[in-house]
């Protein structure tokens, strides 16, 4: 079975590649979680974050924005002592800020899933790269999403993070054209 060249033989990575990455995700909570986790990746490899994902879910109330938004200074201090997550003060603060920004969007009647998918015209963009290294690290869609998220108060959401988020959540499908997960290789 041919997979994208970035995948290692780590079972966690294989499962992530085969079942999640590039699959169109429209669940609001799952999108929020992935945006927060992609921000944690900044400067690190994705496998580092992926191996800590369950710890993040436990530490951040299964990515319930309402519960995260209620976190206070004592919670922040506890998170900074939590060796199961990446203990970067800016990244931890970003998850809390993102939950508050998310709730503010909801309060204004803005559905997060609809908002995110709007940047790709509500249709998955499918690229055809024979090698994963040919895929870009950002795009006009990611730049626009980053700018709009920043205007709403989100943190750790630059264009590169937004592009990774869009790939992860299937807004953009960048599976290599020879990968069995590429839509062109799927049997109807």
Instruction: Summarize pLDDT for 165-183 with one digit per residue, the tens.
Output: 999 999 999 999 999 999 9
Q: What mean pLDDT, rounded, does the chain reach?
A: 97
Residues in the chain: 188
Question: What pLDDT is stored for residue 186 in this prediction?
Answer: 79
Q: Which residues of the chain have pLDDT under 50?
A: none
> Where is the binding site, in residues?
4, 17, 175, 179
Distance CA 140, CA 185 (A): 27
The reported pTM is 0.96
DSSP 3-state of 64: coil
Q: Which of 46, 176, 183, 179 is nearest to 124 (CA)?
A: 183
> Where is the binding site for Zn(2+), in residues?
4, 17, 175, 179
Bridge partners of residue 125, in order along the sequence: 172
> For residues 13 and 7, is the Cβ–Cβ distance under 8 A?
yes
Please list, residue by residue across 38-64, b when 16 or more beta carbons sit within 10 angstroms of its beta carbon and e when fewer do. bbbbbeeebbebbebbeebeebbbebe
DSSP 3-state of 172: strand
Longest dimension (CA), the chain: 52
Question: What pLDDT is stored for residue 36 in this prediction?
Answer: 98
Residues with a catalytic annotation lie at 16, 38, 46
E strand or H helix that includes residue 126: strand 125-126
Which tens digits make up the pLDDT trace of 68-104? 999 999 999 999 999 999 999 999 999 999 999 999 9
Distance CA 25, CA 116 (A): 10
Question: What pLDDT is stored for residue 164 in this prediction?
Answer: 97
């Amino acid at each position: 079975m041919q997979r994208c060249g970035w995948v290692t033989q780590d079972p966690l990575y294989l499962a992530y590649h085969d079942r999640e990455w590039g699959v169109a995700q429209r669940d609001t909570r799952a999108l929020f979680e992935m945006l927060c986790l992609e921000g944690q990746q900044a400067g690190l490899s994705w496998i580092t974050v992926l191996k800590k994902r369950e710890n993040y879910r436990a530490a951040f109330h299964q990515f319930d924005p309402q519960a995260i938004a209620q976190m206070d200074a004592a919670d922040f201090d506890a998170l900074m002592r939590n060796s199961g997550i990446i203990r970067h003060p800016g990244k931890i603060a970003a998850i809390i800020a993102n939950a508050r920004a998310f709730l503010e969007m909801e309060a204004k009647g803005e559905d997060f899933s609809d908002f995110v998918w709007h940047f790709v015209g509500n249709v998955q963009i499918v690229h055809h790269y024979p090698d994963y290294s040919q895929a870009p690290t950002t795009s006009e869609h990611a730049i626009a999403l980053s700018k709009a998220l920043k205007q709403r108060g989100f943190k750790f959401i630059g264009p590169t993070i937004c592009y990774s988020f869009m790939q992860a959540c299937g807004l953009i499908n960048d599976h290599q054209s020879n990968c069995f997960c590429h839509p062109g290789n799927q049997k109807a």
